[in-house]
Every structure is written in structure tokens, then in C-alpha cells.
């Protein structure tokens, strides 16, 4: 498995990690429209204990993101496919 620190910063890899924290939902205004979009940040740790942030947008932020927030204290392992 490739370590997060070894990845190209522009790549969109599939990731697996242990949930360290889940932020509350934020509202972000789109640049080209007067529309607010929900966003939630998930901090994960890989097997080398390096942490990284994955942002969830729209329905993922409010649906699955809320589920992760509810179980974050149990530090679940999650996989995300890009």
C-alpha cells in the first residue's frame, strides 16, 4: 500500500484509514453562483499514523458525514474510492 506521504499531491487515490475526527457541517458559497454547498472534513490516519483530511460535499456531507460524526468516538476504519 502506498503511504499518503508518498503520493502525488494532485492525485485522487482510493484511501483507507482510521477516523480521527469529524467536523461539523459547514456551508461554503460557490464562486460562480450565489449557492451554498454543505461540506464536512474527515481527518483519517493511515497505517503509518500520518493524518490527512478528506472533504465530503453535498449529500455525502449531510448523510454519510453525519453517520461518521455519530460514531467518530469509536474510531471506525473507512475506505473511500475516488
Q: Is the pLDDT of residue 41 over 80?
A: yes
Buried b or exposed e, range 61-71, using 16+ CB within 10 angstroms = beeebeebbee
CATH class of 14-80: mainly beta
pTM for the whole structure: 0.80
Q: What pLDDT sits at residue 14?
A: 83
Domain boundaries, the chain: 14-80
Average pLDDT of the chain is: 88
List all residues 6 or more positions away from 76 whose beta carbon is below 8 Å from its beta carbon.
18, 19, 68
Percent of the chain's residues with pLDDT above 70: 85
pLDDT in tens, 5-24: 666 666 667 889 999 999 99
Distance CA 76, CA 65 (A): 13
Closest by CA position to 24, among listed 52, 58, 61: 61
CB 66 within 8 A of CB 7: no
Amino acid at each position: 500500500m502506498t503511504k499518503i506521504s508518498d503520493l502525488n499531491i494532485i492525485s485522487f487515490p482510493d484511501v483507507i484509514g482510521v477516523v480521527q475526527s469529524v467536523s461539523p457541517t459547514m456551508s461554503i458559497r460557490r464562486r460562480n453562483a450565489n449557492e451554498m454547498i454543505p461540506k464536512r472534513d474527515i481527518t483519517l490516519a493511515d497505517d503509518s499514523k500520518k493524518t490527512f483530511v478528506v472533504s465530503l460535499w453535498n449529500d455525502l456531507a449531510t448523510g454519510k458525514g453525519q453517520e461518521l460524526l455519530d460514531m467518530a468516538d469509536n474510531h471506525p476504519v473507512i475506505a473511500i474510492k475516488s
